Amino acid sequence: MTKRTIDSHLSLAILGLLSGRPMSGYDLRKVFMTTALKAFSASPGAIYPALKRLEKAGLVEGAVERKNTLRPRQVFALTRRGRGALIDSLSGPVSREDVIRRMDWLLLRFSFMSGLIGAGPILDFLRTLAEETAGYLEVLEEEFRRSAPGLPFSGRAALEQGVESYRATARWAKKTYGELKRHRQL
Amino acid sequence: MTKRTIDSHLSLAILGLLSGRPMSGYDLRKVFMTTALKAFSASPGAIYPALKRLEKAGLVEGAVERKNTLRPRQVFALTRRGRGALIDSLSGPVSREDVIRRMDWLLLRFSFMSGLIGAGPILDFLRTLAEETAGYLEVLEEEFRRSAPGLPFSGRAALEQGVESYRATARWAKKTYGELKRHRQL
DNA sequence: TGCAGCATGTAACCTGTTACATGATTAG
DNA sequence: CTAATCATGTAACAGGTTACATGCTGCA
């Protein structure tokens, strides 16, 4: 995978949002500024170039609204290829590496899954996420037992925070897996 | 702060580690590969340029070990300026913005505090971290109440994960604050 | 009239990723 | 002898940040 079609977190977030409804660059900025996606930068220097890249890659298509007025507005929509690329990137596996270094990417993927991929793959995702998270948690806990006695206060406490954070994620993944499974059987 | 002396997470991590003991680039890579700092990339293409930048900025100083042998090794140590810059960056305030978009940076800062800044400033850090995290948590919970009913399953669950994550962090910060306070009073 | 919000963009700079490259030492 | 590990680097590329730039619309 030397050349990814979806090149960054921001691109994934944009495609995910556009899978809901077509939006302009400014609309996207507002979403990033006002919702839980605040974690993303809403800077025009990031969003407009990203949209341009996605358009060039054929994943989104911009339609100019109010062409004749003096304040045109370009509304972007997912193309069929864009939808395909999005689904592909949501469907990929969950690796230990992802859990350690790209948890935010995993959760971003998850957040857009409903409506794009079926309950089966979503359950697979949650199961492997829970497994890999629990697996890494064991590694971290072992490291904590081994090195905590020698660590200064803040180092030890920071490690504890890391452990707590993975514990919370593992719990959440298991709980959500159960909810989805039950819900599907209704 | 147009020009920061500590220009990235990686640079902060390097300075923090060097505040413990002098290390070579390879030593640093090993730490990043084998400890809880696995979240950092250990790629030579990141570390060696970072060390060079820090040296150029006068924050670290490299001494060539085994100069005459055929396998020289450059061991870097914090300079006085480097120690000062590190302390400054650990001592800065905790903003809401940091909590939302740079939690990893805050925790990285915290992890190196013991031994470099006093218990007073560390307590301040933990208190404001707990406050700002709890404050943002309220915002998130309000957003959850407002928008959850209209969200698809995975969107709602992802938001829940975000809420849980901030809850865990707020709990941890409060607990750690209490521990440090008690410990200091012994 | 003036200000906040709408709406889109560019350019310089910096950092990290990926891939490539080199060669020595040590354990089996 | 040979594979793993030690040890350090470079170069192309890509993406985000920051700062700058422009001009309209609606409201007070």
- B169/A165 Cβ within 8 A: yes
Mean pLDDT, chain A, as a whole number? 93
Q: Which helix (H) or strand (E) holds A65?
A: strand A60-65
What DSSP letter does each residue of A88-120 carry, written as one string?
HHHHS---HHHHHH-HHHHHHHHHT-BTTB-HH
Question: Are B165 and A168 in contact (CB < 8 Å)?
Answer: yes
Tokens of B186: 């012994």
Question: Which positions ≥6 away from A10 have C-beta within 8 Å?
Answer: A40, A41, A46, A47, A50
Non-local (6+) Cβ contacts of A22 within 8 A are: A63, A75, A76, A77, A78
> Which nucleotide in the DNA or RNA is closest to residue A1, CA to C1'?
C18
Percentage of residues of chain A with pLDDT beyond 90? 88
pLDDT for residue A1 is more than 50 = no
Q: pLDDT tens, A64-105?
A: 876 656 667 899 999 999 999 999 999 999 999 999 999 999
Say if B64 is an interface residue toward chain A (CB within 8 Å): no
Query: Which pLDDT score is estimated for B2?
Result: 39
Tell me, letter by letter, the H, E, C secondary structure of A72-84. Answer: CEEEEEECHHHHH
- A38, A112, A159 member nearest B36 (Cβ): A159
CB atoms within 10 A of CB B41: 15
Sheet of A73-78, strands arranged across: A23-24, A73-78, A60-65
Q: What distance in Å separates the CA atoms of residue B123 and residue B117, rounded to the nearest whole number? A: 10
- 3-state DSSP call for residue B115? coil
B163 with A171: CB under 8 angstroms? no
Distance (Å) from the C-alpha of residue A20 to the closest C-alpha of chain B? 10
SS3 state at A87: helix
Amino acid at B38: K
**Nucleic strand D within 7 A of Cβ A186:** no
Query: B22-59, pLDDT tens digit by residue?
Result: 999 999 999 999 999 998 888 999 999 999 999 999 99
Distance CA A54, CA A21 (A): 16
What is the C-alpha to C-alpha distance for residues B135 and B146, in angstroms, rounded to an integer? 17
Q: How confident is the model at residue B1 (pLDDT cuts 50, 70, 90)?
A: very low
Return the structure tokens found at B96.
């809401």
Interchain CB contact of B176 with A (< 8 Å): yes
In chain A, which residue's Cα lies nearest the Cα of B125?
A: A154
Interface of B with A in 97-116 (CB under 8 A): 100-101, 107-108, 110-115
**Residue B76 host element (H or E):** strand B73-78
CA B183 distance to own-chain centroid: 23
pLDDT, tens digit (0-9, with 9 covering 90-100), for B134-181: 999 999 999 999 999 999 999 999 999 999 999 999 999 999 999 999
Q: Which residue has the tokens 């404050």?
A: B135
Please, which residues bridge with residue B77 across strands?
A: B61
Q: For strand C, is any atom closer than 7 Å to the CB of A71?
A: yes
Q: What is the mean pLDDT of residues B18-25?
A: 97
Whole-model pTM: value is 0.94
Q: Is the CB of B2 under 7 A from strand D?
A: yes
- Who's near A159: CB < 8 A, 6+ residues apart? A140, A143, A144, A147, A148, A151, B36, B111
Bridge partners of B117, per DSSP, are B114
Q: Do B36 and A143 touch (CB under 8 A)?
A: yes
Residue A110 has pLDDT above 90, yes or no: yes
Distance CA B179, CA A154 (A): 11
